Amino acid sequence: MTRSDEELVARSVSGDADSFNQLIVRWERPIYALAYRVLGHEEDARDVCQDTFLRAYRALPGFKGQAKFSSWLYRIALNLCRDWIRRQRRAPISQIPEDLDPAELVTEAGPAESIEDLVARRELTAIVEQAMQSLSEEQRTAIILKEYHGLTFQEIADMQGCPLSTVKTRLYQGLSMLRRQLERRGQGVAELVKRT
C-alpha cells in the first residue's frame, strides 16, 4: 500500500525514521533535478539535495501542513540554492563538457537509444543549458518550477514571494528570451529536437 506524503510525514514526526526515508526515495530525484537546473553543477546539486532532506527532517515537527509537503521541500531546496549561489559568488554555470567522453556515452545510452541519438540529446541539452544561463535567476527559477516540476502559478508566486502577475511576466519574458536564443541556432536545434 502506498502511503500519501501527509501520512508519511505524520509517521515521521512520531519518530518513524523509515517513513521519512520513504519520502526521500519519493522526492530525491525531483529535488536533485531542481538543484541541478538552478545551480548547474552535479556535485553541488547533490549536496543541496542532501542538505534539503536533512533540514526538512530537523524542521519536520514544525511542519504544520499548510502547504503541500513537496512545495515545502521545493522551498527549502530553492533557499539552499540561493544561499549556495551567494556563498560561492558565482553565476550558475552548467557543466558543459568540452569534449564528449565515449566511455561515458556508452554507459549512459539506454538499450533503445543509439550513440548518435545520445550525442544529439547531449548537444541539445548543452544548448538549452547555455540559453538558460542568459536568464535572470528569478526567470530561470520560475521556468524550471513550471516546466519541469509542474507547479501552479500560485505555488510559484508563494515560493518566490511575489504576485501571481509577476510570475506570469517572468515566465513570458524568460520563454521569449529562450526562444530568441534557440532560434538563433536555427536548423540545428530543430533537427536535434526531431531526433530526441
Interface residues toward other proteins, by CB under 8 A: 15, 17, 20-21, 24, 28-29, 32-33, 36-37, 42, 45-46, 49-50, 53-54, 57-58, 100, 102-103, 105-106, 108, 115-116, 119, 121, 124-125, 128-129, 132, 143, 146-148, 152-153, 165, 168-169, 171-172, 175-176, 178-179, 182-183, 189, 191-193, 196
Q: Where are the alpha helices (DSSP H) in the chain?
A: 5-13, 17-39, 42-59, 69-88, 102-108, 115-133, 137-147, 153-160, 164-185, 187-195
Q: In this complex, which beta carbon is closest to other proteins, that of residue 89 or of residue 98?
A: 98
Residue closer to other proteins, measured from CB, 84 or 89: 84
In the complex, least distance from residue 5 CB atom to other proteins, rounded to whole angstroms: 15
50 vs 160, beta carbon nearer other proteins = 50
CA dihedral 107→109→115→120, nearest 10 degrees, is -120
**Three-state helix/strand/coil letters over 55-89:** HHHHHHHHCCCCCCHHHHHHHHHHHHHHHHHHHHC
Find the shortest distance in angstroms from Cβ 152 to other proteins. Answer: 7
Burial of 67 (0-12, 13-18, 19+ CB in 10 A): middle
C-beta closer to other proteins: residue 3 or 168: 168
Q: Least distance to other proteins from the beta carbon of 12, Å?
A: 9
Q: What whole-number distance in Å separates Cα of residue 84 and Cα of residue 92?
A: 10
- Give CA separation, 57 vs 6, 12, 46, 73, in Å: 14, 8, 17, 10
Shortest Cβ 81–other proteins spacing (Å): 14
Rounded-to-integer distance, Cα 56 and Cα 76, Å: 8
Report the residue number, 91 or 103, with the smaller CB distance to other proteins. Answer: 103
| Nearest to other proteins of 64, 89 (CB atom) | 64
Least distance CB 27 / other proteins (angstroms)? 10
Q: How far is the CB of 86 from other proteins (least distance, A)?
A: 22
Residue type, 61: P
